[in-house]
Amino acid sequence: MEHNTMNLTLKVWRQKNKKDKGGFVTYSVSDISSEMSFLEMIDVLNERLVNEGKDEPIAFDHDCREGICGMCSMYINGRPHGPWEGTTTCQLHMRAFKDGDTIVVEPWRANAFPVIKDLVVDRSSFDRIIQAGGYISVNTGNAVDANSLPIEKEKADTAFASAACIGCGACVAACKNSSALLFVSAKVSHLALLPQGGPERKTRVADMIAQMDKEGFGSCTSTGACEAVCPKEISITNIARLNGEYGISGLTADK
């Protein structure tokens, strides 16, 4: 495969800490291979910044760089994770751009995701939502046979698709209301569809939604922007399922 190189202009959000106002800083990068990942391109820029000693390297989150962990969250040219559908930032390659392009890179914008530094945001609000209800009660002991709890294939497949959510927060970043409902509904659906999630089924959805509201996420107005940018292509049908679960929870709650 032919590797093209390109020269690019980057407008990157720089912010020293939560209290800093922050702003865009323009950088030029040259001889960037079209086969580099987006994060590798930033690595190249950061190495140059360190060598020059004029500016601190750009802070950004990353871990697996395999599209699994969800940490590589960046708003690129007005779209979470960049122009490719069903792709995390770390799996986005520079062939998505062309020589001479200007690329604007920002952190997620949501009150519930405060900026820590530069492109790094605090997404611990997602963790607290999971802690509020994302557990199951099990009897511990010897490992049980995998087939001891038969599950319909359609339900198993749907639960698996919901469980694919990596909690990156792209849904929140894309939503005009900063709603976290796609994330929460994926987690609720995953457990609601499986028999292991049965014991806490009614309390889980109420507790997770209560925590979501407490964290300051906005309401869902069903624009579908969340589904459109999700790197794991989580379906908004999960939101309909969550609404059903929430309704059942309210009707059957102890008075």
Q: What is the pLDDT of residues 83-105, one digit of tens each?
A: 999 999 999 999 999 999 999 99
Query: What percentage of the chain reaches a pLDDT higher than 90?
Result: 81
Handedness of CA 91, 93, 97, 101 (dihedral sign): positive
> Residue 249, class by beta-carbon neighbours within 10 Å (0-12 exposed, 13-18 middle, 19+ buried)?
middle
- Between the CA of residue 31 and those of 27, 35, 36, 44, what are the distances in Å? 14, 12, 11, 10
Residue-wise pLDDT tens digits, 102-117: 999 999 999 999 999 9
Closest Cα to residue 108, out of 37, 194, 169, 31? 169
Give the mean pLDDT of 238-252.
86
Q: Which amino acid is at 188?
A: V
Residue-wise pLDDT tens digits, 36-47: 999 999 999 999
Question: Phi, psi at residue 191, to the nearest 5°?
Answer: -85, -30
Least confident segment among 122-126, 186-190, 251-255: 251-255
Check whether 49 has a pLDDT greater than 80. Answer: yes
Domains in the chain, ordered, with CATH? Answer: 5-106 (3.10.20.30), 123-137+149-252 (1.10.1060.10)
Query: What percentage of the chain reaches a pLDDT higher than 70?
Result: 94
Average pLDDT of the chain to the nearest whole number: 92
Least confident segment among 5-9, 20-24, 134-138: 134-138
pLDDT of residue 255: 44
Q: How confident is the model at residue 197 (pLDDT cuts 50, 70, 90)?
A: confident
pLDDT of residue 195: 84
pLDDT of residue 211: 97
Handedness of CA 98, 101, 105, 109 (dihedral sign): negative
